[in-house]
């Protein structure tokens, strides 16, 4: 029998976070109420990230389909990612709720396109007890270039904290199946949510464990 080249490893527990080094498609489903994720974007340059092989839609589709039992899915894409891609990448059984803009005080640009904000797309059901949900979240004031994280495309902790706050309640467990450097986990530590993160790349997984450990110990100090 052929052995699996990428078997899921034993999870690492850091505070409220369960961190799994493995392929999301092999590790899911897990017990979580909300999926908040920044997947491999359709316009990710080939070779920049694991999974940037032209089949990114299948990767996200597989992860969300496995998490059919979650109440809400929130998917982040770039301002220049074609939203029509979501038709192939998001199973159609959960209704679309709304978009949220994730703005920066210092705009970035790509070629002649000025902006750099990301967009969150929410599907499924609004968390119980939530009132009005805004169309834009807290503005990140730190320029992207100042974010010193060992990952090619880390998200803003300010934006991730807002998404965790709006789309989950304090009894929820949040899942990020494409955890990268662990920003969603950091947001969950700050927002007092349980978190499950999965990352396939060994270097990015180690970065996530390290960043989340520091966040947990900083919280204890304070």
Of positions 154, 185, 191, 197, contacts ligand SAM by CB under 6 A: 154
How wide is the angle at C-alpha 71 spanned by C-alphas 40 and 120, nearest 5°?
40
Chain residues 110-149 in contact with ligand SAM, contact rule CB under 6 A: none
Chain residues 83-102 in contact with ligand SAM, contact rule CB under 6 A: none
Q: Does 178 bind ligand SAM (CB under 6 A)?
A: yes
Of positions 60, 198, 209, 212, contacts ligand SAM by CB under 6 A: 198
Nearer to ligand SAM, 20 or 33 (CB): 20
Q: Does 40 bind ligand SAM (CB under 6 A)?
A: yes
Q: Does 199 bind ligand SAM (CB under 6 A)?
A: yes
Comparing every residue's Cβ against ligand SAM, the nearest one is 180
From the list 100, 39, 92, the residue with the least C-alpha distance to 68 is 92
From the list 216, 145, 176, the residue with the least C-alpha distance to 39 is 176
Residue 207 tokens read as 């970065």
What is the distance between the alpha carbons of residues 113 and 8, in angstroms, rounded to a whole number? 40
Q: In what order do the strands lie in the sheet containing 173-176?
A: 12-14, 17-21, 194-199, 173-176, 34-37, 72-78, 118-124, 96-102
Closest separation between CB of residue 163 and ligand SAM, Å? 11
Closest separation between CB of residue 36 and ligand SAM, Å? 9
DSSP state of 73: E
Of positions 33, 72, 168, 183, contacts ligand SAM by CB under 6 A: 183
Q: Does 12 bind ligand SAM (CB under 6 A)?
A: no
């Amino acid at each position: 029998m052929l052995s699996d080249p990428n078997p899921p490893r034993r999870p690492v527990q850091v505070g409220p976070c369960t961190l799994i080094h493995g392929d999301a498609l092999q590790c899911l489903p897990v017990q979580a109420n909300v999926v908040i994720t920044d997947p491999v974007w359709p316009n990710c340059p080939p070779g920049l990230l694991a999974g940037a092989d032209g089949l990114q839609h299948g990767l996200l589709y597989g992860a969300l389909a496995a998490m059919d039992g979650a109440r809400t899915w929130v998917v982040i894409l770039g301002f220049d990612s074609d939203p029509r891609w979501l038709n192939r990448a998001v199973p159609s059984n959960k209704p679309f709720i709304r978009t949220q803009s994730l703005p920066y005080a210092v705009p970035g640009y790509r070629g002649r396109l000025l902006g750099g904000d990301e967009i969150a797309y929410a599907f499924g059901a609004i968390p119980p007890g939530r009132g009005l949900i805004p169309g834009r979240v807290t503005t990140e004031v730190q320029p992207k270039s100042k974010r010193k994280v060992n990952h090619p495309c880390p998200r803003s902790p300010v934006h991730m904290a807002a998404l965790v706050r709006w789309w989950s309640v304090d009894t929820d467990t949040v899942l990020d199946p494409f955890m990268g450097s662990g920003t969603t986990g950091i947001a969950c530590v700050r927002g007092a949510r349980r978190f499950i993160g999965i990352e396939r790349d060994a270097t990015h997984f180690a970065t996530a464990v390290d960043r989340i450990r520091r966040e947990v110990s900083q919280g204890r100090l304070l």
